[in-house]
């Protein structure tokens, strides 16, 4: 009984190591750790699993940002044009990039890398559509760019 608990702990320790080791190879170690550790699946995931957890985070952040965009239409109607562009870009992230990343990560990771890089680009373009200081989405888009950077680094470990 004790031996089983010991072994379980050893495995837990070992798996915790994988998250740590993996995050060390990304551009943002702290962000990577906090994203992965916030998901209980990370304790027993391989690299593919970790990548999928992060793609889920991209999807969630994308959906959250789309919510903010919809709010902004009401509170800042004069920003309709750049908000329209952001809506298009973020729908691409959530509907297209995320889907491609999920199927490609398991089969042919380079296409997942392309999708995740594109997600970061779409976020940048969205924010860039506002004149400086006008964007209500800057912290969200910057967070998306950072998560995409980390996710990309993990996907590249699968190549």
Partner 1 sequence: MASNEALLPVTSRQDPLSESRSDQIPETRRRRPIKVHLAIYSGLLLIALYVALIVTHDGSTAQHGAKDETSTESRARLAGVSEKSNDRVSKLSDDRKVEAFAWNNTMLSWQRTAFHFQPEKNWMNDPNGPLFYKGWYHFFYQYNPNAAVWGDIVWGHAVSKDLIHWLYLPIAMVPDQWYDANGVWTGSATFLDDGSIVMLYTGSTDKFVQVQNLAYPEDPSDPLLLKWAKFSGNPVLVPPPGIGAKDFRDPTTAWKTSSGKWRITIGSKINRTGISLIYDTTDFKTYEKHDTLLHQVPNTGMWECVDFYPVSKTQVNGLDTSVNGPDIKHVIKASMDDTRIDHYAIGTYYDSNGTWVPDNPSIDVGISTALRYDYGKFYASKTFYDQNKGRRILWGWIGESDSEAADVQKGWSSVQGIPRTVVLDTRTRKNLVQWPVEEIKSLRLSSNKFDMTIGPGTVVPVDVGSATQLDIEAEFEIKTEDLKLFFDDDSVEADKKFSCETSGGSTARGALGPFGFSVLADESLSEQTPVYFYVTKGKHSKLKTVFCTDTSRSTMANDVVKPIYGSFVPVLKGEKLTMRILVDHSIVEGFAQGGRTCITSRVYPTKAIYGATKLFLFNNAIDATVTASFKVWQMNSAFIHPYSPDDLSVPSRT
User: Where on the chain is the footprint of partner 1 (CB under 8 A)?
Assistant: 2-3, 5-7, 9-10, 12-14, 16-17, 20, 24, 27-30, 81-82, 84-85, 88-89, 92, 96-97, 99-100, 103-104, 106-108, 110-111, 113-115, 117-118, 120-122, 124-125, 127-132, 145, 148-149, 152-153, 156, 158-159
Convert 94-148 into a string of H (helix), E (strand) and C (coil).
Answer: HHHHHHHHHHHHHHCHHHHHHHHHHHHHHHHHHHHCCCCCCCCCHHHHHHHHHHH
Nearer to partner 1, 47 or 68 (CB): 47
Q: Compute the distance between CA of residue 40 and CA of residue 139 in angstroms, rounded to an integer.
A: 26
Nearer to partner 1, 70 or 80 (CB): 80
Which stretch of DSSP H or E encloses residue 54? helix 47-75
* Least spacing, CB of residue 125 vs partner 1, in Å: 5
* Least spacing, CB of residue 18 vs partner 1, in Å: 11
Nearer to partner 1, 49 or 111 (CB): 111
* Least spacing, CB of residue 60 vs partner 1, in Å: 19
- The first and second tokens of residue 47, run together, are 């690299």
* Least spacing, CB of residue 61 vs partner 1, in Å: 15
Nearer to partner 1, 3 or 74 (CB): 3
End-to-end Cα distance, the chain: 41
Give the 3-state secondary structure of residue 27: coil
The distance from CA 89 to its chain's CA centroid, rounded to whole angstroms, is 15
């Amino acid at each position: 009984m004790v031996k089983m608990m010991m072994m379980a702990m050893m495995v837990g320790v070992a798996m915790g190591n994988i998250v740590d080791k993996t995050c060390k190879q990304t551009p943002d170690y702290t962000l990577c750790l906090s994203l992965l550790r916030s998901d209980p699946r990370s304790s027993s995931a391989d690299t593919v699993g970790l990548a999928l957890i992060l793609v889920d985070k991209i999807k969630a952040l994308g959906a959250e940002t789309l919510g903010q965009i919809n709010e902004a239409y009401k509170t800042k109607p004069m920003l309709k044009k750049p908000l329209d562009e952001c809506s298009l870009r973020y729908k691409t992230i959530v509907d297209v990039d995320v889907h491609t990343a999920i199927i490609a990560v398991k089969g042919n990771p380079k296409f997942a890398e392309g999708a995740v890089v594109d997600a970061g680009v779409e976020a940048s373009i969205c924010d860039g559509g506002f004149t400086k200081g006008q964007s209500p989405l800057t912290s969200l888009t910057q967070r998306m760019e950072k998560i995409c950077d980390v996710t990309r680094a993990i996907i590249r470990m699968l190549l």
